Amino acid sequence: MSIGLLLALLLSFNGTFAESDTLKPLTPFPNPDITYIWPTNASDYMSASFGETRSAHFHAAIDIGTWAREGYEVYAARDGKLFRAGVSPVGYGNVVYLQHDDDSFTVYAHLQDFAPEIRALVDSVRFTDYRMSFDQFLSDHNVHFKQGDVIGRTGSTGIGPPHLHFEVRSSSNNAVNPKLAGIHIPDSVPPVFSSLAVIPFDADSYVEGTKQTSILPARRSGNTFDFGEITTSGPIGLAVNVSDRSDHGRNVYAVYELEMELNGKTLFHARADSFPMADTRKMLLDRVYPLLLKRRGGFQRLHILPSNSLPFYDRNLGDGLLHAEAGTHEVIIRARDYYRNESVATLTLKVEEPSDTGYSRPVYRFKPASHSQPAPLTQNRANPERYFRWNSGWITPLENLSDVSIRFRSSGFQPGKFYDKLEAHRGIRLEGEQAEISTSETGAFTLNRVLPGRSTTLRYPAGRMELQFSEHTLFDTTYVHAERFSRGNRNFIRIGPDSEPLGRPVSLRVFLPDSLHNEKRTGLYFTDEQRDRSVYMTSEVQGDVLQAKVEGFGLYEIRVDTTKPELSRPRIWQRRNDGRWFVSVDASDEGSGIDHNKTVFIVNDRRGIGEHDPFGKVIHYHHPEFEPLNGANMIEITVYDHAGNRTSEKFELQR
């Protein structure tokens, strides 16, 4: 028995459930008689936990640290059959899925390489077309592993830095907290509260007299935290920024369980046992999406949005929104980790009756104000989201505005409302299928209502574009604003509101000017204004139309990429853990990015597969039989970017 396997067996633990007063485990999984072993000899250190916040999804696994190194053994946690394998420059990278005799699964991701029998099977398919990407179901090949067999080696493919991503899934493809499968770490450290978000929830809700979400820092005394006092009116929601650690651990984890009481009555209880992999993007509903965008922090809601169907919550308690009467109330929030270590936080809630509306009495008119005519495409338009915030229920100005006209439209005609004054952070209910809004500051803009569960196309004749929403695009009813405008000679599209997440991409069709007809190098780029960067979106030009998938609301630019990829610094090297040889070439493209499936990589007249590492900005030559010649080695590589620009280089390297 290897030292690594002995370590894994010593770290194994029979699965038991952590019990809770109100929530029971989602499924009777796993069978208590089943033992999972720790899946690597890299370390016994958990660097990330189940259910953590990621940019657009839940973390469905635990991560195991490998001390910034690659090549440690990865073991089958149970007896199983090879079910699926994948290779990709992003996401899971090199990944193995094992299916077990109860039809559950374990998943091992970011591998440096596969076990030889998996590698041979994967390569037998990949070398038919020399594409890097691979993702196939392989159960028909009947490749079996015993618990403790080596199935691969740890790496950093798909993402960095090096670590092992280990998932447990049920037979119905639910991600299951691996601690339910007995993956144990020493932990006597209670969670820590950092801050609390207090969120106004409808047109008549206010926090400290405004429609702004308030962030309250936590004051700590031992394992007790206090968020102080805050004044509200109308329904509000709370969300906490809270984290956990383990004994001897440096990394910060997600908490396992959250509970909230109002005046001694429990109104919310959630526990991260399991979730369907199809719903992993609903993390954007469990967290407060606007704060995730702006603060990169995962404030976890202590209330349930109507479109949130995740199985974490005790729904017998209601939705968790606070509808407290006028007066002073005590809120208690409890956070627990899997091992029942608990911290408690308190908040004093002072609730007032709703105050005056904050705007002058509206005058009804049949026409919008004269300044409501659409601005021409070439003008740099003011972003309406600088002046207004809106959602499915209400719209509010972010500063005092005068001479504002609002007209709601549905199947019948409705006269417009004209306001001499709108006070900042006062809510106006949104109605109907369309809201036409005009101010001196923004000019005219239109909000179109889009409903979840329906396919909807919004057309914008002035911008010569359209948005196509599938029935799964939106989580909730959303009033959408879109416009196309120019800044100098640059062409932009803005789609809002930024504060609403998408469940699936929006299809965008844009009619191009004559100068760009059939210009295949034209693409759509997301403009991340906070981090001052642009990201290429999957795009295609057909005649005079640019088609793209938009994965989130925000600012986009239509751009032509004429810059070729850059190649440099070829080198021959041998991997230490298995002696395999590789050729690597530095490769970068600052425009649309390298199209990894089009790379042609030939060494000594033998074509291999070009495996792209976008994080290391390098392409590796992969051929299972490659060994460099003593003396000169001839290298030919051709690389394309997503715009079709091509770079070809030849190198001669001495071994």
Cα(198)–Cα(203) distance, rounded to whole angstroms? 15
Q: What is the pLDDT of residue 249?
A: 84
Task: Extract the tokens encoding 477.
Answer: 């009813």
Q: 648 vs 355, which has greater pLDDT?
A: 648
Condensed to tens digits (0 to 9), the pLDDT of residues 422-434 reads: 889 888 999 899 9
**Closest C-alpha to 93, from 596, 503, 568, 591:** 596
Q: Label residue 378 by pLDDT band (50, 70, 90).
A: very low
Burial 134-153 (b: 16+ CB within 10 A, else e): beeebeeeebebebbbbbbb
Residue 277 and residue 197 share a domain: yes
Taking 90 as the threshold, does the pLDDT of residue 32 lie above it?
no
Q: What is the mean pLDDT of residues 62-89?
A: 97
Amino acid 593: pLDDT: 96
pLDDT in tens, 236-248: 999 999 999 999 8
**Worst-scoring range by mean pLDDT, 10-19, 283-292, 317-326?**
10-19
Residue 23's pLDDT is what?
52
The pLDDT, as a whole number, for residue 565 is 98
338 and 395 share a domain? Answer: no
Distance CA 645, CA 567 (A): 13
Pick from 256, 266, 267, 251: nearest CA to 336: 256
pLDDT band at 542 (very low <50, low <70, confident <90, very high): very high
Same domain, 515 and 383: yes
Q: What is the reported pLDDT for 583?
A: 98
According to the model, what pLDDT value does residue 413 have?
58
Among the candidates 526, 560, 594, a domain finishes at: 560
Amino acid present at 93: G
Q: Are residues 125 and 223 in the same domain?
A: no
Q: What is the mean pLDDT of residues 567-586?
A: 96
| Burial 606-633, CB ≥16 within 10 A → b, else e | eebbbbbbbeeebbbbbbeebebeeeeb
In a domain, residue 186? The reply is no
Using pLDDT thresholds of 50, 70 and 90, give the confidence band for residue 8: very low
Query: What are the distances in angstroms from CA 149 to CA 91, 183, 342, 421?
Result: 25, 18, 38, 72
**Confidence band, pLDDT 50/70/90 cuts, at residue 33:** confident
In a domain, 474, yes or no: yes
- For 165-179, the pLDDT digits (tens) are 999 999 999 999 999
Does residue 357 fall inside a structural domain? no
pLDDT band at 579 (very low <50, low <70, confident <90, very high): very high
Does a structural domain hold residue 187?
Answer: no
Same domain flag for 97 and 171: yes
Q: Give me the number of domains the chain comprises.
A: 4
Whether residue 25 is predicted with pLDDT greater than 70 in this model: the reply is no
Q: What is the mean pLDDT of residues 494-503?
A: 94
State the average pLDDT over residues 73-91.
97
pLDDT for residue 2: 41
Please report whether residue 171 resides in a domain.
yes
- 196 in a domain, yes or no? yes
Q: What is the mean pLDDT of the chain?
A: 90
Task: Quote the percentage of the chain above a pLDDT of 90.
Answer: 78
469-480 mean pLDDT? 96
Encode 532-544 in three state secondary structure: CEEEEECEEEECC
In terms of domains, do 554 and 603 share one? no
376 and 521 within one domain? yes
The whole domain housing 458 covers 363-560
Q: What average pLDDT score do residues 342-346 get?
A: 98
pLDDT in tens, 94-150: 999 999 999 999 999 999 999 999 999 999 999 999 999 999 999 999 999 999 999
Look at residues 351, 378, 406 and tell me which one is the last residue of a structural domain.
351
Residue 171 and residue 204 in one domain: no
Residue with the bigger pLDDT between 319 and 444: it is: 319
> Band of the pLDDT at 10, cuts 50, 70, 90?
very low
- Residue 126's H or E segment, with its range, is helix 116-126
Is position 603 within any domain?
yes
Q: Is the pLDDT of residue 396 over 60?
A: yes
What gap in Å lies between CA 626 and CA 608, rounded to an integer? 9
pLDDT digits (tens, 9 = 90+) for 298-335: 899 999 999 999 999 999 999 999 999 999 999 999 99
Mind listing the pLDDT tens digit for each residue in 616-639?
Answer: 999 999 999 999 999 999 999 999
In contact, 392 and 429? CB cutoff 8 Å: no
Q: Within this chain, do residues 317 and 375 fall inside the same structural domain, yes or no?
A: no
Does residue 356 belong to any structural domain of this protein? no
Q: pLDDT class for 443, splitting at 50, 70, 90?
A: confident
Return the CATH number at 631: 2.60.40
Q: Identify the CATH number of the domain in which residue 59 sits.
A: 2.70.70.10
Are 254 and 289 found together in one domain? yes
Q: SS3 for 166-212, per residue? A: EEEECCCCEEECHHHHCCCCCCCCCCEEEEEEEEECCCCCEECCECC
Q: Write the CATH number for 439.
A: 2.60.220
Last residue of a domain, one of 528, 560, 592: 560
Residues 147 and 240 in one domain: no
Same domain, 107 and 254: no
